[in-house]
Amino acid sequence: MNKIIELTTPFSEEVISQLKVGNVVSITGDIYCGRDAVLPRICKELEAGTWTQRGIDLQGGVIFHTAVSPAGVGPTSSNKLEIEGSFEVLSSKGAIKMHLGKGAIKPETVKMLAGNNAVFAIIPPVTALLESQTLERECVAWPELGMEALYRIKVKNYQAIIAAAKGESIYE
Amino acid sequence: MSNIIEKVADCLVRAGSTFREDQKEAYRKAIADEKIESSCWVMKQVLDNALVAEKNRSPLCDDTGIPHLFLEVGKHQSVTGELLEEIKEGVRQGLRQLPGRPMAIKGDDYARIDQSGGLNEDSGALDASPILIKPVEEDVIRLTVLMLGGGPAIRGITQRVFHKHSVDVVIEEIVNRAKPAVSQLGCSPCTLAIGIGRSQFEATSLMMEAMAKGNFGVQSDFEKHITIKVNDANVGPLGLGGKHSVLATFAKIGPQRASGVRIVALRPCCCFEPRRACVEL
């Protein structure tokens, strides 16, 4: 295994542009968590130009496709309609740099990510390990969605593998 | 808390947080044997996760699963309504201790289907599935708690096979169903659970028994054959390629009908399953 690349959020354009498919990265810092229920809501506000009113800065950030419950966190399939459908708006209008989940995504999504200098990374569903590396958690929007609300969590050394970058996919 | 409630609660926590030794050994062997670095990395992460979960008695996966109960009863033992109530309460307490993901859906029939009634925030509100009871020779009452996740439930298939009086035909059909199921599962390497019986109910019951009793270190020729054939698909852990899409197959073949049809229940158990533990009550 090649050397693990240490990354701290938020990511700069330069850091993301150096990532390649197959790189194993270790992520430290604040990341956002959301899945099917909340991602379309964020996209809607980004497209309407009302997202800024929330005071949540997504620039250079990570969206982890997970619920946040007392049981912990763990990736859901990123190729679900509402989740993969959020990649483009979150990348282009929200300046999200890393979509973090699991499963193969479509070739057109891989291409779109490259066009926005963003990447898709997969993280194994290792909830106990992730729980030991999660330092803080806070619900930041739509609390009525419960575990499917938008959360910000502070993490240390979450390991993931780059699955789509520069127009290439690990699944090809 | 009564002794039985306490035992059941502890059993559920162990089921949701612990790899058995044969399961750990299956991972160690696969890690040593896998040539693809990224696939090896995934399996090491899964094994590390299991060690942390066991130490902390915390969930292996955030989808903590739906409790399924398999009860073995010796012929000199009796199962009373009171015992069943205590098992039910033990499940409730265990879910709170783990803690289980709060996944109980509130509301009437319609609201539970479309999820419009919202979720119950109490982890313990999640009902277990109906209990499967099996008579055994041993003089025991033994409960196995299995925690069944959603991903494998989505990809599981229970359907007939026209066997044409050939075991090879049945195996081939199982493999043909398993390959796409494993590929779509996402959270692999997986373990295939299989039950073959005379009806959908019986085949699924046999599959449950296979999950409750299967051992990664003890594989029949039938099981080995299926594992090898599915691994030929080269799906690999998390779909990253490699020889270890499937770590083992747990199959239970029951009585069969005098006809050209066999009913096969197949569940591609995820990388943590079968999450199970047992306790004598």
pLDDT above 70 as % of chain B: 100
Q: Which residues of A touch B120 (CB under 8 A)?
A: none
User: Average pLDDT of chain A?
Assistant: 96
C-alpha span between B54 and A129 (Å, rounded): 11
Indicate whether B210 pLDDT > 70: yes
Determine the average pLDDT of the residues in B82-100: 97
Per-residue pLDDT tens digits for B13-48: 999 999 999 999 999 999 999 999 999 999 999 999
Angstroms from B99 CA to nearest CA on chain A? 6
Indicate whether B254 pLDDT > 70: yes
C-alpha span between B147 and B18 (Å, rounded): 11
User: Average pLDDT of chain B?
Assistant: 96
Q: A with B: how many residue pairs have Cβ under 8 Å apart?
A: 100
Q: Does A66 touch chain B (CB under 8 A)?
A: yes
Position B90 scores a pLDDT of 98
With CB atoms and an 8 Å threshold, state whether B98 touches A170.
no
Provide φ and ψ at B271, rounded to 5°. -65, -15
Q: Does B159 touch chain A (CB under 8 A)?
A: no
What contacts B168, CB < 8 A, 6 or more positions away? none
Identify the burial level of A154 via C-beta atoms within 10 angstroms of its C-beta, where 0-12 means exposed, 13-18 middle and 19 or more buried: middle
Position A25 scores a pLDDT of 97
Q: Which residues of A touch B46 (CB under 8 A)?
A: 124, 126
Determine the average pLDDT of the residues in B148-169: 96
Of B45, B100, B119, the CB nearest to A124: B45
Instruction: Specify whether the CB–CB gap between A131 and B49 falls below 8 A.
Output: no
**DSSP element (H, E) containing A25:** strand A24-33
Q: Does A73 touch chain B (CB under 8 A)?
A: yes
Q: How many helices (H) and strands (E) does chain B have?
A: 9, 8
Of B42, B46, B99, the CB nearest to A70: B99
Q: Does A121 touch chain B (CB under 8 A)?
A: no
With CB atoms and an 8 Å threshold, state whether B52 touches A132.
yes
Determine the average pLDDT of the residues in B122-129: 96
Determine the average pLDDT of the residues in A47-66: 97
Determine the average pLDDT of the residues in B83-89: 97
What contacts B230, CB < 8 A, 6 or more positions away? B175, B178, B179, B182, B192, B245, B246, B249
Identify the burial level of B97 via C-beta atoms within 10 angstroms of its C-beta, where 0-12 means exposed, 13-18 middle and 19 or more buried: middle
Identify the burial level of B192 via C-beta atoms within 10 angstroms of its C-beta, where 0-12 means exposed, 13-18 middle and 19 or more buried: buried
Out of A18-27, A37-46, B111-120, pick the least confident: B111-120
What contacts B248, CB < 8 A, 6 or more positions away? B26, B191, B192, B214, B216, B219, B223, B227
pLDDT band at B266 (very low <50, low <70, confident <90, very high): very high
Pick the residue from chain A with its C-alpha nearest to B41.
A1
As for the ipTM of the complex, it is 0.89
Indicate whether A2 pLDDT > 80: no
Determine the average pLDDT of the residues in A45-57: 96
What contacts B92, CB < 8 A, 6 or more positions away? B124, B125
Terminal alpha carbon distance of chain A: 20
Determine the average pLDDT of the residues in B255-269: 97
Q: Does B56 touch chain A (CB under 8 A)?
A: yes
With CB atoms and an 8 Å threshold, state whether A103 touches B239.
yes
C-alpha span between B212 and B207 (Å, rounded): 9
Question: E strands, A65-132, where?
Answer: 98-101, 119-122
Q: Which residues of A touch B37 (CB under 8 A)?
A: 1-2
Of B17, B52, B61, the CB nearest to A74: B61
With CB atoms and an 8 Å threshold, state whether B58 touches A128.
yes
Indicate whether B117 pLDDT > 90: no
Position B1 scores a pLDDT of 67
Indicate whether B163 pLDDT > 80: yes
> What's the whole-model pTM score?
0.93
What is the DSSP-derived secondary structure letter of residue A151?
Answer: E
Indicate whether A67 pLDDT > 80: yes
Residue B273 DSSP SS3: coil
Q: For chain A, which residues make up each domain, given as ranges?
A: 5-169
Determine the average pLDDT of the residues in A100-122: 96
Determine the average pLDDT of the residues in A98-106: 94
Q: For chain B, which residues make up each domain, given as ranges?
A: 3-280
Position B253 scores a pLDDT of 98
Pick the residue from chain A with its C-alpha nearest to B38.
A22
Measured in whole angstroms, how far is the alpha carbon of residue A18 from the centre of its chain? 18
Pick the residue from chain A with its C-alpha nearest to B101.
A71
Indicate whether B259 pLDDT > 70: yes
Instruction: Specify whether the CB–CB gap between A95 and A59 falls below 8 A.
Output: yes
Of B58, B101, B240, the CB nearest to A170: B240
Indicate whether B118 pLDDT > 90: no
Determine the average pLDDT of the residues in A149-154: 98
Measured in whole angstroms, how far is the alpha carbon of residue A115 from the centre of its chain? 17
Of A69, A129, A161, the CB nearest to B101: A69
Sign of CA dihedral B214, B217, B223, B227: positive
With CB atoms and an 8 Å threshold, state whether A22 touches B58.
no
C-alpha span between A20 and B1 (Å, rounded): 55
Pairing of strands B132-136, B66-74: parallel
Position A98 scores a pLDDT of 98
Q: Which residues of A touch B38 (CB under 8 A)?
A: 22, 24, 161, 170
The domain made up of A5-169 has a fold known as fumarase (3.20.130)
